[in-house]
Amino acid sequence: MNSGLKDVLVLAGAFLMAGLVAMQLPGCGGGSSGVGVVSTDATKLQVSLTDKQSDEFQNVFVAIKEIRVVPAGMEGAPDSHPGLPVIATFATPYVVDILTLKFQQDILGTAILPPGNYNQVRLILAPNPTAPGAEPLNYLTLKSDPAVKIPLKTPSGQQSGLKVLGKFTVKQGVLNAILLDFDPNTAIVDRGNGDYILKPTGIRIIQPTSPIYNDFGSLTGTVISTFKDFSSATVSVVPTGSSSPVATGTVFSNFSSSRWEAPFSSFVPAGSYRVHVQAKGFQLYSSIPQTVIEKSETPVGNLELVPLP
């Protein structure tokens, strides 16, 4: 999902992100302390948390003990391996309700680490208590019954960690940022017997070239074709009156309900924008101007592609 992404285009999902300033949560180790401007001679990576909403779940709580990143070529290394940089360690598990974080950034940690290519993020979670009557640390509630805490099963989340796959690069001398696309609707699996499982395959890594601030909103829509498969398309968000996009990325189609479709969500600063879509064999699509409001979602609906003559 991170292939072809630029700036802050997030494709059909929620995200975990990092900001521009060096920050650290209380009780967190493995990063710099305090808040300030990042030194130009440091190589740092920040990880922060936010998420999209769910149609089914009222709350999704996870208890994070540690965050590690995995250099390329070390995917099979155990969590205890000294070559896996630690982004954050929490003496008391950091419990957060992911579904409360839309258009917010909850910074989990900042760490100085070797520059280079990385292929994985590991989220080490605290185990749920096993004592009778003890309340779970990792759990969800349903909108249909929000008073009941349903334990969230996290296979390997306490030992080897939730292994989130995706490539990103840490560059020398700058503060680097990553986003984890966390969609509870796909990351959480209902087994039908009362068990709910959190799977890392529902979380993806995206690396933007710039972070998302609190004055951002989003443009959401779906690229569609009812005539033929467009396979992939390039979506660009361009400020009204400009020719330079502020976000560009590639979406990939799926066939559903007699059409090919690819949803997208682009996080951009408040302002007026046009959405352009280019796909091989189709005419260039350009939307009417769309106004993005701070911390609000602006739906642009279906962007229908028309085949070339």
Domains of the chain: 6-206 (no CATH), 216-304 (2.60.40.2190)
Across 43-47, 172-176, 192-196, 245-249, the highest mean pLDDT is recorded for 192-196
Model confidence at 22: pLDDT above 90: no
Name, in order, each residue with C-beta under 8 angstroms of 278's C-beta and a sequence gap of 6 or more.
233, 234, 236, 284, 285
Beta bridge partners of 261: 224, 254
pLDDT at 19: 26
Q: What is the mean pLDDT of the chain?
A: 75
| Cα(232)–Cα(210) distance, integer angstroms | 24
| Cα(118)–Cα(115) distance, integer angstroms | 9
Model confidence at 196: pLDDT above 60: yes
pTM for the whole thing?
0.59
Task: Give residue 106's pLDDT band: very low, low, confident or very high (50, 70, 90).
Answer: low
Pairing of strands 116-125, 44-49: unpaired
59 neighbors 99 (Cβ within 8 angstroms) = yes
Question: What's the mean pLDDT in 279-290?
Answer: 95
| Cα(254)–Cα(232) distance, integer angstroms | 10
| Chain Cα centroid distance, residue 173 | 24
Pairing of strands 145-153, 203-206: unpaired
| Chain Cα centroid distance, residue 255 | 24
